[in-house]
Copies of this chain bind each other. A is one copy, B any other.
Amino acid sequence: MSYDVNAKESIKPSTFLNPVPVVMATCGSMDDSNIITLAWAGTVNSEPPMLSISIRKERFSHDIIAKDGIFGVNLVSRPLIKACDYCGVKSGRDIDKFKEMKLTKFKGEKTGVPLIMESPASLECKVRQIIELGTHDLFIADIVNVYVSKELFDEKGAIDMRKADLVAYNHGEYYSLGDFLGFYGYSVANKDALARRMRKK
């Protein structure tokens, strides 16, 4: 089929992948902690579970994480959005973000890294590799522990992520998640599976 020149506009190459996660990464120790908000983050491997975060070299958290080799990834729910934004624009060189944003820290059992109690889920991560890319360094890390708020579990003990009310980052703006559209595999699922697993919008 031919390319319709009227349908598309070619723009300057840019970081146009959307939506992306937005997370509050934590680092340092329980006594001397920092939080940095990051949208350049993603899952990179299923088994062993791994994720990556990218951080500008000049950011305060960059050297802390590079030195310690550990960090936390705290998911962002709607009530956290103001703290999340604040921790993305302010520097830990100048302020104590936990204190300023009245956030509660708890210690990850596997790494000792501080985590955010108010976050619906927190991942403890150990850096495996750091790759210099340009403005940012890519930190590839193993996920060694996951904490989930008990209020996310349903009566059967399954995790209901809707209860987390998570936020996504879309072209410079924060959005809540909206309508449920389907589960992985729904397009080829049989009627029983559809009846069981298709939630109400």
Set B159, B173, B186, B199: member contacting A180, Cβ < 8 A: B173
Are A45 and B40 neighbours in the complex by a CB distance under 8 Å? yes
Closest to A107 in B: B3
With A20-B42, A182-B81 given, is the CB distance from A138 to B140 under 8 Å?
yes
Interface residues of A in 146-168 (CB under 8 A from B): 146-150, 153, 159, 161, 164, 166-168
Are B175 and A177 neighbours in the complex by a CB distance under 8 Å? yes
* Band of interface residues on A: 35 or more
Chain A 127-149 against B: per-residue CB contact (8 Å), 1 yes, 0 no? 00101011110101011111111
Copies in the complex: 2
Residues of A near any B CB (own CB < 8 A): 1-4, 6-21, 23, 39-52, 54, 56, 73, 75, 78, 81-83, 85-86, 88-90, 104-107, 109, 117, 121-123, 129, 131, 133-136, 138, 140, 142-150, 153, 159, 161, 164, 166-188, 199
